[in-house]
Structure 1
Amino acid sequence: MLPPRAYVFIGLNIVRVLSMVGLLLVFASSIVVLVHDVQIFNAFIQSPLHPDNAVDGSSNSTAIDLNQDYILGSTVPNQSAGIFWAILNRLLIIFQVIFLFMSECSWPMSFFDRFFPVLGMEFGTGALGIIECLIGAAVLSHRINTFALVSAFFLFSIGCVNMLVGLIWRQHSKTKRSITSWRNKAKDVLPTSIVSLPHQMTSGSLTSMSMYSEKGAEPAVRSETPQNNHAGMGFGRQGEKAAALKGFMINKPVESLPRYAPKRTASDDGHEETQ
């Protein structure tokens, strides 16, 4: 039986994979629609039924009606620079899809955290879902083929799911679905305040550390070594003996006189004389 955190991790990653699949489908369908629009527009311009291509300026009763809103069989509006805006729309959709796909792959997450925080780790999946719904609605607002229609509707549905996930887990949604979330969860279990008691470390002794709880009422981890063994010896003779038994030698500092003090010389009778 897995813990509830594991089911949340698996569920969020399933939504993540479906989101990546929807983005890939919209990417492929946008390229297909872009190529199809360009081909239809070229055929429309070069068609002999077009009024601009009429011989000797004579009108043809079977000529294509220029008053129609869209070029037949495409998403290109029949207006000034319509093909330019149609192509630009598809290119922007492709660029946004690539950007969102990189965000779902968490690469490079440092770039998103610095320049696009709404797609970084500090924000949840709500902003991601809103952008996916906007892309899906922009694609569905035109008459498109079946492949693009299904891809855009699938992406719009996944965007709604991401918004729901963002409302439930808020800014923690991306952290909970991250692979390193298990390590982060383990770090959160550790006490936030650790107090170590300094002791003298030797080759024959172990360092003992006492960790106290956050309130400081009673220690969380107690040392097994009796407390009396760690009593300080001070700086007197007892401290010197204890240090000598443990292998530490205390040397007597070399006597020195200040520079302004007169030099002392030994006389014949053994006494020092000051010059």
Structure 2
Amino acid sequence: MAIINLTPDSFSGDGVGRDLSAALARAEAALAAGAELLDLGAESTRPGSDPVPEAEEIARVVPAVKALTGLEVPISVDTLKPAVMRAALDAGADMINDVAGFRSPGALDAVAAGNAGLCVMHMRGEPRTMQADPRYADVVGEVESFLAERVHALEAAGVARERIVLDPGFGFGKTLAHNLALLRALARMRVEGLPVLAGLSRKSMLGAITGRPVDQRLGASVAAALLAVQHGARIVRVHDVAVTVDALKVLAALEEAAA
């Protein structure tokens, strides 16, 4: 899953804002490099970020979805606002990726109909405050329980199980120790056998481990993606597609040779 940031304030410095030509160029490059999904985000969810007004988020998302649907690749939209979910789906989005796990009032109603994919992510708190001293008695057990509860809520709203993907939410209300515990136990996040998406690319946990700034975390990001797949992730959400695809090809070759 390639990240296409439609924000002017992305933590990774690669936001294109409302520049549709830049978004299209980035999407085409990602697909040429081997991406199989595109994830469009029009509101930064980096720690400490403030919400984007609903109308502004829609104004960024809808033209981009319409522009990219011609690429014949699944388009995901990263949003926690029900109105943006509806607008994105009406514009042709194939998936909604919600960092709030479809807990916002009206979110379940916005996505229940149809057959779009739904990514349910765990987040403690909200982006503006989530890294303010997050605490858990048992981070793995609590995230696992949260994902199970959200799966049941979606099913109760009429969502077929095959539409659901799960994301433990690395970096969203977690310390480095929490993130590492979740990565080690990633297989447990496959609640009821559902596929897991892992987003570790360029995140601050990698900076804490390596001491490198965000623009120097390529090696750590690729290593994290490989480890996530080895521990059970079926989808990795990344900024740097080509090098990640190459690394995953090596891993796949090794596993095939051992089969």
Q: TM-score, normalised to structure 2's length? A: 0.22
Query: Going by fraction, where is helix more abundant, 1 or 2?
Result: 1
Which of structures 1 and 2 has the bigger CA Rg? 1
More strand by proportion, 1 or 2? 2
